[in-house]
Amino acid sequence: MMGRNSKTPEIESNRLSPEAYADNFSDLHPMLSAHQASIEAARCYYCYDAPCIKACPTGIDIPSFIQKISTGNRRGSAHKILEENIFGAMCARVCPTEVLCEQACVRTLGENKPVAIGALQRFATDPVLDDGSRLFERGPESGKHVAIVGAGPAGLSCAHRLAMLGHRATVFEAEDKQGGLNEYGIAAYKVVDDIAQREIDYILDIGGIDIRFRQAIASAEALSELGKKYDAVFIGLGLGGAKALGLEGEDLDGVMNAVDYIKDLRQAKDLAALPVGRRIVVIGGGMTAVDIASQTRRLGAEEVTIVYRRGPQEMGASAVERDLAQTGGVRIRYWAKPVRLIASKAHVVAVEFERTRGGRNGSIEGTGEKYEIDADMVFRAIGQQFSAASLDGSSDLIALRGGRIKVDGERRTSVAGIWAGGDCVDGGQDLTVVAVEDGKIAAHSIDRYLHREDESADNGDQVMDGQR
């Protein structure tokens, strides 16, 4: 290793040719052709009581949508998907199908190759986003109006289902664009051609949904005002806080939050303009860690290393995602934790790690053996957390559990008239598909609540008439 004083950060833009950027960030898995889709659909056994349905958080009737593809009914297949998961196009790209529906596929027994459910879902859903197919209509106007906090998958799923049920929805979004992590947090090579916004345009086309941008609802008072003004409230805030490493020097130049960098990358009009280091160290083991590692490698970084404190079996990122990263030149080192950030002239130049091992009751412990990895950029990717400060005192109003909003099976919070879903709720799995299901469940619960309110009002009127 070169001497400490000779380490010089090498962060620059325009590392690659325009052709290389275009190739590196092209569609990771291009859509199947009609012929390929037909062959793949024919592999499905159309199981009775299919395990893949149970493995899908939104309960899509997977054998049914695949059978429609095999008979040439592509539009009918899309309807079967989208009636359960209105974000079917994005989920076809970002869902970890390898550990959900595809893992449950009976084709894995003996063949070890499940039906490519995700690829077939994309084949069915992509065309309806652009061909004007309106598969769902807004229900008869109910006169009810629901406030939704956050225009991510949970909030927009809730809004769309409420529209189908005849209710109006106003969505309050703190950012300049809707979509949440679908727009700001997914690796760019997974979601090309502005698919996140195209899908949302399709969702909003149903009508009855108004989005107000740059309007953060971030206080107990603001939330209380929504409760007074609207007939119900749904909170889909996501996770706004990034976890810190807890090391001295996290404010050094070159040390940054992976989510923020991915957000900048997703919104960049020119990838060549993004500065990237020559030697990257990513600390963490989830999907964000793999995404930032893979993307900085594709931006021209020469050495990219993910360091995770446990073994591969405990890593949040799936084996498929890890293999993708490693195939792209990313190195993964297990069983090590960061203990020191090393700086030169206020810029990080290396990270010192201590080797770890498994301890009692699932804990980890340091071995005392240490090593350094040179780095001119270090990314924190050890997870995000729900910040109670995002509601600024509302935790006194809304009960929390496990650091997130406490909800019941219908996604009702501790406050009557307020629901929540997605990553911000206790028990959330930090998956788009789970957030979509939360929004859908909450919408039906809100609908029942609003109808009960109407019935109560009607009964009250009858009592008053009797008293007259």
pLDDT tens for each residue of 19-35: 999 999 999 999 999 99
Given a cut of 50, whether residue 3 has pLDDT beyond it is: no
Length of the chain: 468
Q: 10-14, 65-69, 426-430 — which one is most confidently predicted on average?
A: 65-69
Give the pLDDT of residue 430. Answer: 85
Q: What pLDDT digit, counting tens, does each position of 265-314 carry?
A: 999 999 999 999 999 999 999 999 999 999 999 999 999 999 999 999 99
pLDDT of residue 338: 97
Q: Say if residue 413 is in the same domain as residue 430.
A: yes
Report pLDDT for 5: 43
pLDDT digits (tens, 9 = 90+) for 184-237: 999 999 999 999 999 999 999 999 999 999 999 877 788 889 999 999 999 999
379-399 mean pLDDT: 74
Global pTM reads: 0.92
**Which residue segment(s) compose the domain that 295 sits in?**
4-25+242-384
CB contact at 8 A, 171 and 103: no
Which phi and psi (to 5°) does residue 190 adopt? -90, -20
Nearest in space to 17 (alpha carbons), one of 272, 265, 269: 272
- Between 456 and 98, name the one with better pLDDT: 98
Distance CA 101, CA 253 (A): 42
Last-in-domain residue among 81, 105, 130: 130
Domains in the chain, number? 3
Residue type, 22: A
Please name the residues in contact with 1: beta carbons below 8 A apart, sequence gap of 6 or more: 372, 374
Torsion sign (Cα): 267, 270, 272, 274: negative
Do residue 149 and residue 187 come from a single domain? yes
Task: Name the average pLDDT for the chain.
Answer: 92
Q: Does a structural domain hold residue 464? A: no
Instruction: Indicate if the pLDDT at residue 462 is higher than 90.
Output: no
Q: How confident is the model at residue 467 (pLDDT cuts 50, 70, 90)?
A: very low
Q: Is residue 466 part of a domain?
A: no
Residue 218 lies in a domain: yes
Read off the pLDDT of each residue in 74-103 and give the average, rounded to a whole number.
96
Q: Which of 351, 384, 417 is the last residue in one of the domains? A: 384
Quote the percentage of the chain above a pLDDT of 70: 94
Instruction: Give the separation between CA 382 and CA 242, rounded to whole angstroms.
Output: 8
Burial 142-169 (b: 16+ CB within 10 A, else e): bebbbbbbbbbbbbbbbbbbbbbbbbbb
Judgement on whether residues 221 and 98 belong to the same structural domain of the protein: no
Q: Are residues 21 and 50 in the same domain?
A: no
For residue 452, the domain's CATH number is 3.50.50.60
Same domain assignment for residues 300 and 210: no
Using the 3D structure, point to which of 130, 159, 189 is the last residue of a domain. 130
- For the four alpha carbons of 440, 441, 444 and 447, in that order, the dihedral sign comes to negative
Do 298 and 278 have their domain in common? yes
Q: What is the CATH number of the domain that holds 57?
A: 1.10.1060.10
- H helices present in 270-403, as ranges: 287-298, 319-327
In terms of phi and psi (left: phi > 0; alpha: psi -120 to 50; beta: otherwise), the region of 18 is: alpha
